[in-house]
């Protein structure tokens, strides 16, 4: 069978409705054209804050289009090459890969070749999986770091991020491989194992991330549902996708439009960290100033302070997202992908010195600070002040976090399963306490 032409446009859909087309120009530039039916629809909305509807329905061309679609793919070049080899794609470029795996992306977007029919999304179709099938899939995930795609031609997903993971459908109390245009509903994240130059042991990463989720919830932040599950000899964190919603009549799964802050700012995934040129706290706070929910800026600032308290260094622009709503409005999505470094910090073999812990987004004072041990209360106050958040407001946020630390820990303890790894819990709880005390002392 002849391969489709590399320059053939791709069609973009959202919940079965035509959004527009994406193509490569003669010089390789990325072009997005919104369908007039979409821009005039009551359900219509731009794919991204960086790709608004334009007067006269003019098209978008260039880096903003490219960055938006690149951010729908996994971050790792190794993963992209595996996907390329799996499907025989001409390159690891977003256009070539999403032609193959764009049926189930983050958010509402589906990317399809122009010769494929309009997706019928108003049904749920999947192939039932036994526990042994899920276990086998997780074994493949662990042995092949990155995005794992089951051996089914009609199950083609794209999950952004750098960690190995896969996704499945949960329907009628049964795990399934989605078929056709049915989306996945849950993301499976196996243990990370040993990472970094320090050979740090993150084999308890599913429990670590689950506990961080419960702590954030105890502090009042919105988080997705998650559970640590065992399938034969394999363990994984199973996260409910917040960009999926069962329809009111229960007959189909609605895809909710979402984008991360790299997409919202036309930032390629290779620059997701602020130190590499990506968005920082001030940029995100500036965007959230236009959120439909006035409290979103305070929520984001609270989340950043808690990332520091949890020693969670990966809170970059791809790990914060917004829901896109009709008419161009938006609001902050739940906080996700939070993993504490406290269980692997310290001195000695296989430990990471705390002096090496750097946050993904800097706080500001006279200088910009990424190092965990260089950050104090005054830096949060100054960072917030630079975007119009008053000192009393920021101090109030910090004081509430300090005051609620013990009750948040107590609540998390009541939720711990009996087989939860004690060293992981103890390290995270102690790190949280010491951070709260450090924050309290630096306010004096």
| 314 is an active site residue | yes
Q: Which of 55, 87, 113 is the last residue of a domain?
A: 113
Q: Collect the ranges in the chain with pLDDT lower than 50.
A: 1-5, 144-156, 162
Q: Is the dihedral of CA 42, 46, 48, 53 positive or negative?
A: negative
31 domain-assigned: yes
- pLDDT for residue 180: 86
Q: Is the dihedral of CA 303, 305, 310, 315 positive or negative?
A: positive
Total domains in the fold of the chain = 3
- Same domain for 175 and 76, yes or no, is no
CA distance 439 to 435: 6
Question: C-alpha distances in angstroms, 3 versus 30, 88, 96, 152?
Answer: 20, 9, 11, 19
- Same domain for 293 and 418, yes or no, is yes
360 domain-assigned: yes
Of 222, 442, 179, 436, residue with least CA distance to 320 = 222
- Same domain for 353 and 400, yes or no, is yes
- pLDDT for residue 54: 97
Q: Is the dihedral of CA 220, 223, 227, 233 positive or negative?
A: negative
250 domain-assigned: no
- Same domain for 137 and 181, yes or no, is yes
Neighbours of 119 (CB within 10 A): 18
Q: What is the residue-averaged pLDDT of the chain?
A: 92
The total number of residues shown for the chain amounts to 444
- Same domain for 306 and 414, yes or no, is yes
Q: Nearest 5 degrees, angle CA 292-CA 323-CA 106?
A: 170
φ/ψ (deg, to 5) at 310: -85, -5
Of 163, 383, 419, 166, residue with least CA distance to 285 = 383
- Same domain for 134 and 174, yes or no, is yes
CATH number for the domain including 428?
1.10.1070.20
251 domain-assigned: no
Q: Name the active-site residue from 154, 260, 314, 419.
A: 314
4 domain-assigned: no
Q: What is the pTM of this model?
A: 0.93
248 domain-assigned: no
**What range defines the domain where residue 102 resides?**
10-113
CA distance 272 to 280: 9
- Same domain for 411 and 269, yes or no, is yes
Q: Which of 52, 79, 113 is the last residue of a domain?
A: 113
Neighbours of 26 (CB within 10 A): 6
77 domain-assigned: yes
CA distance 355 to 371: 7
- Compute the CA torsion angle 323, 55, 73, 236 (nearest 10 deg): 10
Give me the helix-helix angle, 391-415 and 377-385, nearest 10°: 120
- pLDDT for residue 161: 52
- pLDDT for residue 3: 43
Q: Which of 113, 144, 170 is the last residue of a domain?
A: 113
- Same domain for 342 and 410, yes or no, is yes
Spatial CB neighbours of 107, under 8 Å, sequence gap ≥ 6: 243, 255, 256, 257, 258, 259, 324
- pLDDT for residue 5: 45
- pLDDT for residue 366: 83
- Same domain for 375 and 287, yes or no, is yes
- Same domain for 97 and 196, yes or no, is no
- Same domain for 109 and 145, yes or no, is no
- pLDDT for residue 163: 61
119 domain-assigned: no
Neighbours of 227 (CB within 10 A): 14
- Same domain for 103 and 64, yes or no, is yes
């Amino acid at each position: 069978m002849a391969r489709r032409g590399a320059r053939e446009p791709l069609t973009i859909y959202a919940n079965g409705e035509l959004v527009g087309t994406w193509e490569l120009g003669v010089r390789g530039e990325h072009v997005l054209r919104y369908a007039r039916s979409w821009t005039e629809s009551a359900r219509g909305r731009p794919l991204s804050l960086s790709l608004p509807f334009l007067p006269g329905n003019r098209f978008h061309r260039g880096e903003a289009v490219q960055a938006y679609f690149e951010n729908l793919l996994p971050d790792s070049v190794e993963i992209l090459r595996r996907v390329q080899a799996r499907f025989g794609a001409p390159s690891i470029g977003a256009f070539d890969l999403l032609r193959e795996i764009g049926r189930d992306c983050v958010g509402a977007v589906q990317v399809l070749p122009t010769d494929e029919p309009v997706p019928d999304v108003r049904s749920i179709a999947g192939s039932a999986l036994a526990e042994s099938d899920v276990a086998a899939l997780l074994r493949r995930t662990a042995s092949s770091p990155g995005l794992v795609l089951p051996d089914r031609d009609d199950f083609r997903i794209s999950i952004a991020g750098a960690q190995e993971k896969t996704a499945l459908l949960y329907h009628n109390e049964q795990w399934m491989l989605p078929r056709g245009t049915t989306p996945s509903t849950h993301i499976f994240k196996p243990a990370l194992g040993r990472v970094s130059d320090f050979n740090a042991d993150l084999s308890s990463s599913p429990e670590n991330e689950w506990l961080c989720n419960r702590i954030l919830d105890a502090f009042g932040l919105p988080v997705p549902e998650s559970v640590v599950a065992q399938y034969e000899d394999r363990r994984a964190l199973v996260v409910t996708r917040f960009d999926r919603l069962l329809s009111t009549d229960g007959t189909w799964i609605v895809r909710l439009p979402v984008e991360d802050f790299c997409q919202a700012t036309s930032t390629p995934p290779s620059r997701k960290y602020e130190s590499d040129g990506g968005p920082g706290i001030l940029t995100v706070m500036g965007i959230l100033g236009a959120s439909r929910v006035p409290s979103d800026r305070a929520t984001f600032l609270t989340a950043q302070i808690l990332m520091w308290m949890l020693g969670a260094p990966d809170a970059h622009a791809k790990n914060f997202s917004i829901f896109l709503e009709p008419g161009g409005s938006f609001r902050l999505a739940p906080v996700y992908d939070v993993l504490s470094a406290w269980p692997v910090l310290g001195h000695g073999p296989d430990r990471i010195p705390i002096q090496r812990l750097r946050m993904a987004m800097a706080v500001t004072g006279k200088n910009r600070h990424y190092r965990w041990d260089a950050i104090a209360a005054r830096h949060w106050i100054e960072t917030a002040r630079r975007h119009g958040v008053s000192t009393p407001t920021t101090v109030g946020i910090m004081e509430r976090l300090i005051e609620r630390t013990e009750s948040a820990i107590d609540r998390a303890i009541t939720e711990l399963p009996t087989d939860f790894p004690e060293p992981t819990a103890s390290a995270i709880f102690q790190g949280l306490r010491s951070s709260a005390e450090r924050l309290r002392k630096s306010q004096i």
